[in-house]
Homo-oligomer: A and B are copies of this chain.
Amino acid sequence: MPHLTIFYTPDLDRPVADGGADMQALCTALAEKMRLHHDEAGNPVFATGGIRVLAYPAAHSAVADGGAAGRAAGGTGEYGFVYLNLRLARGRSPAVHESVGRALLACTEGHFISLLKTRHIGITLQIDEGLEVYNGRLSSLHPLFTQG
């Protein structure tokens, strides 16, 4: 943890010049944002070794009315959609949740700012606190960030 999973319509994997969004660059930017995020006391909010961002284009999708309103408004009728879900371990404060959410939403907005002006795109970002009843971990990755 934190795990940020991104589910999106596959049109966003097209080249940027053709209405795509460079989703790899978004993943990299969001991971970096989490790594550098600090709380009010100046402490890192997340352990570097626990940061993961995984993005998944859907194989099939249907959004809103399927395109009718978009075409009526002079667009192509193709709607893009991105859902970002960040799962955190329990125990952080509402202020930290709000601060992390705003930072990631701002990062996402910066990434999509021109596309939001030229296409019909919906983006939702939510943070869940995991309520797991079992939690296990195996890692040869975490020690890189806790040694020395």
Within 8 Å CB of A135, what residues of B? 101, 124-127
Within 8 Å CB of A59, what residues of B? 13, 23, 55-57
Nearest B residue (CB) for A100? B134
Nearest B residue (CB) for A72? B144
- Distance (Å) between the CB of A46 and the closest chain B CB? 10
- Distance (Å) between the CB of A129 and the closest chain B CB? 6
Which of B28, B56, B102, B126 interacts with A132 by CB under 8 Å?
A: B126
Copies of this chain, tallied across the complex = 3
**A43 contacts the other chain (CB 8 A):** no
Within 8 Å CB of A9, what residues of B? 54
**A69 contacts the other chain (CB 8 A):** yes
Whether the pair A56, B55 counts as a contact (CB closer than 8 A) is no
Number of residues on chain A facing chain B (CB within 8 A): 84
A52 CA / B124 CA spacing, docked (Å):
11
Within 8 Å CB of A16, what residues of B? none
Whether the pair A61, B66 counts as a contact (CB closer than 8 A) is no
Within 8 Å CB of A52, what residues of B? 61-64, 81, 83, 122
A8 CA / B123 CA spacing, docked (Å):
23
Whether the pair A49, B64 counts as a contact (CB closer than 8 A) is yes
Q: 12 more A-B contacts (CB under 8 A) besides A51-B65, A102-B136, A120-B140?
A: A8-B54, A24-B60, A31-B62, A32-B66, A50-B122, A54-B60, A69-B145, A70-B141, A104-B136, A121-B141, A122-B140, A128-B130
